[in-house]
Chains A and B, each alone.
Chain A
Amino acid sequence: MSKADDQPVFFFGRHYFVLFILLCLLTSLLGRALYLQIVEKEFLFSQGEQRQIRTIETPAYRGTITDRLGTPLAISTPVDSVWVNPSEILQNLPALKQVASKLGINYRKTVALLKQKANKEFVYLKRQLEPELAGQVEAIADGVYLQREYHRYYPAGEVVSHLVGFTNVDDQGQEGLELIYENWLKAQPGQRRVIRNRRGAVVENIAQVIPAKSGNDLISSIDMRLQYIAYRSLARAMKYHAAKAASAVMLDARTGEILAMVNQPSYNPNQNKNKGPAQRRNRAITDVFEPGSTIKPFTLAAAIDRNMYNQNSHIDTTPGWFMVSGYPVKDVRNYGKLNLAGILRKSSNVGASRIAQSLQGKELWQSFSDYGFGQPPGVSFPAESSGYISHYSTWQPLDHATMGFGYGLSVSITQLARAYSVIANRGIQLDLSLIKQNPEDVRQNEISRHVMKATTANMLLKMMEEVVGPQGTAKQAAVDGYRIAGKTGTVKKSVDGGYQEDDYMAIFAGIAPVSNPRLVMAVVIDEPTQNGYYGGQVAAPVFQEAMSNALRVLDIAPDDLTTLQARFSGVDPGA
């Protein structure tokens, strides 16, 4: 071997050739990199985000509605809706079959439906499932997805449905408290952007697009115990008297809070939201009627407040009727000379209209307005009625006289209850409320609302106690052990300006206990057709039943122990 053989031979040509090839490769790589980085950057970036980044919804709850003691009246609970991407799931028919059987839906129909909608990407299989079942369904196959939704339940059902109302499928309030307090209750579902890994699991939060905001809870003024008591009594009376409709309202006399508000007929908001307005209407607030005799205490109040009469005044109602502009104002029979208490006890139309006539139209109108007639009761319920009282300047002599016993004006049962709460509250008028109130706030507000003299209110309470007494029209409203004040009304219904001979409304409004009024309740029963139609026969027993239970539930001490004692010893003092 020569030395030259040992020396490596440098092939310059090959060397440069390889170098050239490598350079070419490098350049193409660099070029590709530059191309991707600069020219296609945006496209690739968006493609990457599309695969990784998702905007997902963060759930938020609609607020719960409870009664004043915390019993839930409306709760939102999470449910899941199952949806699929048709093109995805149709490639995995065995899984779809499994899903269908789990969901209890027809497999063949589902396949047909999905084929029909094959160009869509989102098809609901079943909505609002229990989360547990939905979880099992989701686990069956990859192409099955869940969407979180909320279903609103109303545990109290038809007992409080008019008041609470309900929401639609999109969780928006449609009626009642759900509608009035929509902005307070409603939830704002949030949105956030997240990174998902290959398997679809969220691995990182990037940003919160919209923060989730759950709705606020609402504590209503209702006491569910009293609500149920009132509902049961009213439903029973409705059936017994085969009436067309009925309403009752119970107020806390001291705070103006509505403790119970019930209507018949009713509906169950969990099942049939689509009932007609006859079922759905909150009659206690929306429907008005002529108050009839139940207004007589206020006619008397207007006169007593102006010092025109006192408890010793007498009015001669002989011969039991008199004529105004050619129309007779009649009593059931001739009661002769009556004191003011007697006018209420016998419910004398002649006496009441005589007193109304002794007042100027303006005075009577002013007093009625002050007591809240023709004024909104302040509940701000949808379709709340203010009732109607015509202006005194338009009154004819007959209007003036009949106004005294409750014809020619209209009220809702809630307004009537509020007016009676003025008497119960010693002349102080309160705004009604469907929301639980702070007693301190109520006391602050009541200072300027003296609409009736306290002495007048006390006098009326005593007189109205006689109505419930053994000589009165509302014996059936008496509650053992308690002093009750109240007034009955039996009104002929007016239809198109005339009065129907056989259609009546039976009304009763009462206050308990008289020595320290706590509760006010007003009951109206529309068109009772069986077992009587007088307010004292039909409405007073509802008051009696509901009130005696309510007084017991609220643990209000009896203020009439002597009668109670006499009853227990076997002597009936009423006999």
Chain B
Amino acid sequence: MPRVYSLALLLTLVLSSAMTVIYVKHESRLLFAELRIIQKLQDQEVIEWGRLQLQNSTLATHSNVESRARKTLKMRMPEKVYLVLLP
């Protein structure tokens, strides 16, 4: 009875399609969860980057560098007698 067979085939196809939808949906949710984790990670990295940039610019402030050079390292401009001018 070909009609019964085709009906059965159709039923199988419909069922397998339904199962695939379920599977793909599940898979997409898993991937989405992964994406969220990565986005959170990225967010944290951005925060860290901003923090480091700020820290860097605070430490590299010209007034900070200058005062450390002068006070901690006791640096100063050389006096003229110590300078040699190369022709």
Contacts and interface: CB of A to CB of B under 8 A. Distances in A.
B62 A225 contact: yes
Contacts, number: 56
Determine chain B's interface SS by DSSP, over half rule. Answer: helix
Contacts of A229: 62
B20 interface: no
B47 A77 contact: yes
Contacts of B36: 201-202
A71 interface: yes
29 contacts: A72-B54, A72-B57, A75-B50, A75-B57, A76-B50, A77-B51, A78-B46, A78-B47, A131-B47, A153-B54, A155-B54, A155-B58, A155-B61, A156-B57, A157-B61, A159-B63, A202-B36, A203-B29, A203-B32, A204-B28, A204-B29, A205-B32, A228-B63, A229-B62, A232-B62, A561-B85, A565-B85, A568-B80, A568-B83
B27 interface: no
A564 interface: yes
A300 interface: no
A491 interface: no
Nearest to A568: B85
Interface of A: 71-72, 75-78, 131, 153, 155-157, 159, 201-205, 224-225, 228-229, 232, 561, 564-565, 567-568
Nearest to A549: B77
Contacts of A205: 32
Contacts of B16: none
B53 interface: yes
A131 B85 CA distance: 55
B33 A203 contact: yes
Nearest to B84: A568
Interface in B26-81: 28-29, 32-33, 36, 43-44, 46-47, 50-51, 53-54, 57-58, 60-63, 80
Contacts of B51: 77
A228 B67 CA distance: 13
B54 to A, nearest CB: 6
Nearest to B85: A568
A208 B34 CA distance: 19
A567 B84 CA distance: 11
Contacts of A228: 62-63
A224 B85 contact: no
Given A131-B47, A567-B80, A77 B29 contact: no
Given A72-B53, A565-B85, 14 more contacts: A71-B57, A72-B54, A77-B47, A131-B47, A155-B58, A202-B36, A203-B33, A204-B28, A224-B62, A232-B62, A232-B63, A568-B80, A568-B83, A568-B84
Nearest to A79: B47
B17 to A, nearest CB: 21
A229 B65 CA distance: 13
B81 to A, nearest CB: 8
Contacts of A157: 61
A518 to B, nearest CB: 21
Nearest to A78: B47
A155 B80 contact: no
